[in-house]
Structure 1
């Protein structure tokens, strides 16, 4: 008599099919919107006469996203993931509508703030949904689905957004996503009904301290954008805002992060610096191509697609190499490649070289991010205990968002204030290169003699 083999259900089996599709769709749409906006923002800025607020349109959502991450995590611990998930989607949709119908750049930036708040909270809420709905042995599969949902928009998002802008209007890059987000949410709803009565621990205290620090960090970053060009005292206010932001983010990171303590603190810091350098430069790539080289939005979007494709390929290669490639070594190579790519972009802007060089530059930089990002995630978990995995994973995400937001805020001030005396593109790429150099120099501090937990 032959034994019967029972196949375990997968993430696309009947029980999980719709929530898998819906959750991946929400991740996909969040990623698509992020990359699409990078492509169309030069057109938006020109249409709404919003060059002064260009960087704030990117830094703002990253800053408010930190608030959303902290708030949603604490809320989900107390009440389960359903309420924060529905609320975050609602805030994200409101942000899309406000931005889509914006008559001025100020209104559009306000919509972007709401998008960031909702997107940050949505990411955390979805991770908690995975923990509550899927069995542990399906977690790797659903997280792989999330990763794929990020890769596909990287490949098609910029080009689609550019085409939509050329054929219709940039408004539809925001408004067209609204219906898709609501459809994706409806796919998730049935699986959440069993959690609707609350699936958290009401005894978990509200983390008002961490929430307050996250708000202060966000306000400081936003204030840097708004106050940095005040006549006379602008530079002083900008320095004060940077100091306040760094003080505020400190409690959200492992101890010793800002001092580059060897081990996990340096892992978090290097990840944040690399993200700051990469994204601080990336938002100006389409701007440079459309402004100086008169490239169409569609072709400008292809420059980001090349970088995203390189990121995806490099991430796949490092994953297949496994332990044959040391995580510390992979991060060191990755930071060098990010710096080289930014250096090539800087040379393109400074020497007014052929536009093809900047496209090649972003392929190099994307390769570096693809090598280092997965390995910093692996190092973070390896240097954490079960009790600190949540905090350290959150800190890693905060470092990404905060580092990018702060870099964009500073580049925005420099771009606006120095435009009359120097090439603004050369200025912002130079700052990104300086941040990239810091990441390269600190990368060797990731190694530690004895992997051990770090205090939070």
Structure 2
């Protein structure tokens, strides 16, 4: 196979000729495109370690849960939009606009005089970052031959691992040496540089023109995503100022909004984000997506509040807490690679083991965080992250393989989309639990001690639901075709 006349694969061995790929300029182009993933993921993991210093300056601890909820909401909407916008607007233009949005959001965060304005910046950052990630995957499909997709996607996974390690470290180092504001300021320059370079690097015909006419592109799910946005905002609002009647009403309305979102999505087959029978436990798709949703919602608490609680309660350095969070993501990546080639007959037990690891880590945090034991906290983080790494490759295969033939593409994209929705909702719910447990009265040791326990115990029921869904999903795993996934 060739890229603009250059052989990139050895026909006899099917191996990628990386020297030819570099000589053609496409490897450098791919590395540039992947910077969008690095910008997004590093910022996402960094925010936890800057949070204690930021709260000390801006106050608004009751709004901490919004920082991830708003960011993920922007990423969900932009990620869904970007894949369709390339049908109308050139990939290069999309990349430039996304990078500029990202830089603008980072600038607002870096200069925000209040938590409210900081959250506005996080929303804009999420829109830009989510679009950059989606466009990176679109770029692989549009600009590179199918023969080397697996290798390119593997590099993307490695980039996520680098971001997971470097993000918390960057946040902690910048906060301790300069200011938490400079931690965001760096991304202003990164986003602006990527926007300017897009016109030079993405100079191929495939990147400089739209991919299809307006009539060929699927409609964009405005109504469904609008329902999702309103639902997340309502749930997050319920936890800002805890009052029984007001908070209960907002929570109910938010949950109704989520149900409406999934209902509207199901009624729009040409633009929907999820396969049919989404949460039906009668199918592996339904029980598998239930497992994804339950664990995604349940496991946000440590990434959002862990550094804040450990610093407030036990005076543990930010860099230490940052590396614990990074260890969780790295365990996910490493164990995912280690189990990827496991035989299919072990798939059922692997999914269940992964689910039990996640639930154990989640429950363990309820003891380890108040106790302040760094080794125990690290074990819980490794269990939680490693559980995802063990279960997710096989869970994804089961979901995609068991979906109807015309829904398998939707099903493959639905897993990361459901994760992002779960993270947004989980962050909002974590804010409610944290504020109800004491943070609504301000940040102090007594409040942090109460929050440290309830913030994790409250999500244990969802961990149990995730384990039950894993058992249900795994009952049909061994009967799925081996050729898929």
Measured in 2, the distance between the counterparts of 1:433 and 1:80 equals 46
Residues 193, 362 of structure 1: alpha-carbon distance in 2 compared, 3 angstrom cutoff: same
User: Alignment partner for residue 328 of structure 1, among 340, 344, 348?
Assistant: 348
Which deviations, in whole Å up to 9, do the C-alpha atoms of 1:370-417 show, x marking residues without a partner?
A: 112222333343234664343223321221011111111111012112
Instruction: From 112, 124, 129, give the equivalent of 1:102.
Output: 112
| Count of residue pairs the alignment pairs up | 445
Displacement, 1:53? Answer: 0.7
Q: Using a 3 Å threshold, how does the CA distance of structure 1 residues 382 and 324 change in structure 2: closer, same or farther? A: closer
Equivalent pair of 1:78/1:204 in contact (CA under 8 Å): no
Match of 2:361 among 334, 341, 353: 341
**C-alpha distance 215-122 of structure 1, shift in aligned 2 (>3 A):** farther
Quick one: which of 115, 131, 137 aligns to 1:121?
131
Q: Which residue of 2 aligns with 1:306?
A: 327
CA distance in 1 between partners of 2:32 and 2:280 (Å): 41
Query: Among residues 211, 215, 221, which one is paired with 1:203 in the alignment?
Result: 215
Normalised to the residue count of structure 2, the TM-score between the two structures is: 0.85
Matched residue, 2:462 = 435
Distance 1:13 1:284, change over 3 A: farther
- The question of 1:247 aligning with 2:260 is answered yes
Who is 1:363 aligned against? Answer: 382
State the 1:97 CA deviation: 0.9
Alignment-derived partner of residue 473 in structure 2: 446
2:300/2:430 contact within 8 Å kept: no
Cα distance in structure 2, aligned partners of 1:389 and 1:291: 47
How large is the Cα RMSD of the aligned pairs?
2.4
Q: CA 1:330/1:167 → structure 2, altered by over 3 Å: closer, same or farther?
A: same
Return the match for 1:141 from 151, 160, 178: 151
Partner of 1:237: 250
Q: Superposed, which structure 2 residues align to 1:340-419 within 5 Å?
A: 340-349=360-369, 352-384=371-403, 387-419=406-438
- Give me the whole-angstrom Cα distance separating, in 1, the residues matched to 2:107 and 2:346: 46
Gapped regions of structure 2 (runs ≥ 5) = 1-9, 266-272, 442-446
Q: Does 1:215 align with 2:234?
A: no
- Alpha-carbon spacing, 1:333–1:103, altered in 2? closer, same or farther (3 Å): same
Q: Distance in 1 between matches of 2:311 and 2:363?
A: 20
> How far, CA to CA, are the matches of 1:349 and 1:59 in structure 2?
22
Find the residue that maps to 1:146 and give its secondary structure.
Answer: helix
* Alpha-carbon distance in 1 for matches of 2:45, 2:480: 36
Gaps of 5+ in 1: none
Cα separation, 2, equivalents of 1:98 and 1:160: 19
CA distance in 2: counterparts of 1:432 and 1:96, whole angstroms = 31
Question: What is residue 85 of structure 1 aligned with on the other side?
Answer: 95
* SS of alignment partner, residue 202 of structure 1: coil
Q: Tell me the distance in 1 between the aligned counterparts of 2:229 and 2:180.
A: 27
In the superposition, the TM-score normalised over structure 1's length comes to 0.90
Instruction: Classify 1:364/1:131 alpha carbon distance in 2 versus 1 (closer, same or farther; 3 Å).
Output: same
* Equivalent in the alignment of 2:34: 24
